[in-house]
Structure 1
Amino acid sequence: MFLMIDNYDSFVYNLVSYFLEENIEMKIIRNDLVDLKYIEDLIEKGKLEGIIISPGPKSPKDCGLCNEIVKQFYKKVAIFGVCLGHQIIGHVFGAEVKKGKSPVHGKVHKIKNSGENIFKNLPKEFNVTRYHSLVVEREKLLNDFNIEAETEDGVLMALSSKNYPLYSVQFHPEAVLTEYGHEMIRNFLDLAKEWRDKNGNRS
């Protein structure tokens, strides 16, 4: 089973639908109603396959228990942060999250990516849809992260941990105008399975 942590995002069910199309089981829990003990129990029982931290209208400093979820479980189960989820992961691991040069809401931009992890077997450049005013600054981000994608003007668009199954994208893979959205979701599911096959759920 996968958990979707809902940051009170009006489009969270669009993201959920992309995951459900892959024939997985998913439970959706609001960011301030989630029980950390419940997550720990799922992990200990080997029932939790991954956690997705959804987009949302606020900031990493106002996101319920999301920061605690990342801190407590990133070594134990695969985590995928989307938009606000990406910013939360950056924030937890030392990056400054601040307003970008200008808000981008519903804008389509080309990204350059690594061709690895979330972007495995995808073109090195393609279009994604952005809905955000905050950006993750790379300068203070801990060194154990890979920069997986960025815009043509250098805005950080995706991260991955070098050592743990922790991934994030600033854009919306579920947006209609984002290319290869389904493929990125499948890649995360594959990464989550690969981690479990090698490590199980670490307690």
Structure 2
Amino acid sequence: MTAGAAPRILVVDHHDSFVFTLVSYLREFGAEVDVVEGDELGRAALLARAEEADGVLVSPGPGRPEDVPASTALVQRAEATGQPLLGVCLGHQVLAHALGASVTEAPELLHGRTSAVLHDGDPLFDGLPSGFAAMRYHSLAVDGESLPEELRVTARTPEGVVMAVRHRSAPLVGVQFHPESVLTEGGRRLFGNWLREVRSGGASVSADDTPGLSIPAR
């Protein structure tokens, strides 16, 4: 993208009530946001829409990653082209699923509850303390043991449930919790951190620049 220009963000809406808040945060940081419903466009049309964007955000929503194949294709395109992409909740699961990881039943059903998130200092969490409180709405979770080599865990709960992942060589990141919730500590800042990556094309961020996460897997 051109230096100083507003980043153009494509938001794929999977019919989640939090999407409006998510979009408002992006706009507060100066982004131009194009919102499309995940099932509104076919695969080819959605991929073409992504070509016009500087970054893609795959939203939360009900269901499983298998229910949104067009979004899966969007993740695979982003990996191939190096387009920055952020997946939130279902979008996080879609990211992992698209690259070969398993998404299974979470150890416990969490809808409208906060928990601590321990992170490894990844740039997405710049300015957020490890152990910050985050709002969770999910019954599925990414199986950390099934992650392909391309993905690494950057955050977990104290019990070891995967809360965030990053691609090792492409600017793809996902978070299981809801940063757009008012009950997530520093959630607005997380969106600012991601837009900083978008503005740089992700080129200045390397997952290997941060240490590994020493939290037991579950």
* TM-score normalised per structure 2: 0.84
SS at match of 2:163: strand
Preserved CA contact (<8 Å) 1:31 1:64? no
- Structure 1 residue aligned with 2:133: 127
Preserved CA contact (<8 Å) 1:55 1:82? yes
- The structure-2 alpha-carbon separation of the partners of 1:85 and 1:30, relative to structure 1 and needing over 3 Å to count, comes to same
1:159 to 157, 165, 172: 165
**Alignment deviations for residues 154-174 of structure 1 (CA, whole Å, 9 cap, x no partner):** 000000011001000000001
- Output the aligned Cα RMSD: 1.7
Letter in 1 for 2:79: Y
Return structure 1 stretches of 4+ with deviation > 6 angstroms: none
SS at match of 1:191: helix
After TM superposition, the structure 1 = structure 2 runs for residues 35-54 of structure 1, keeping only pairs within 5 Å, are: 36-37=44-45, 39-40=47-48, 43=51, 47-54=52-59
- What is the Cα deviation at residue 49 of structure 1? 1.1
Structure 1: state its 5+ residue gaps: 199-203
Structure 2: state its 5+ residue gaps: 1-7, 205-218
Q: Distance in 2 between matches of 1:84 and 1:39?
A: 19
- Structure 1 residue aligned with 2:41: 34
1:192 to 194, 198, 203: 198
- What is the Cα deviation at residue 100 of structure 1? 1.1
Q: Distance in 1 between matches of 2:79 and 2:35?
A: 19
Q: Distance in 1 between matches of 2:148 and 2:93?
A: 14
- Structure 2 residue aligned with 1:72: 77
**Alignment deviations for residues 97-139 of structure 1 (CA, whole Å, 9 cap, x no partner):** 1111221011110011011221123212210000000000011
* TM-score normalised per structure 1: 0.90
- Structure 1 residue aligned with 2:209: none
- Structure 1 residue aligned with 2:149: 143
Preserved CA contact (<8 Å) 2:50 2:56? no
SS at match of 2:192: helix
Q: Distance in 1 between matches of 2:19 and 2:50?
A: 22
Q: Distance in 2 between matches of 1:64 and 1:144?
A: 20
- Structure 2 residue aligned with 1:18: 25
Query: For this pair of structures, how many residues does the alignment match?
Result: 195
1:57 to 54, 62, 65: 62
- Structure 1 residue aligned with 2:114: 108
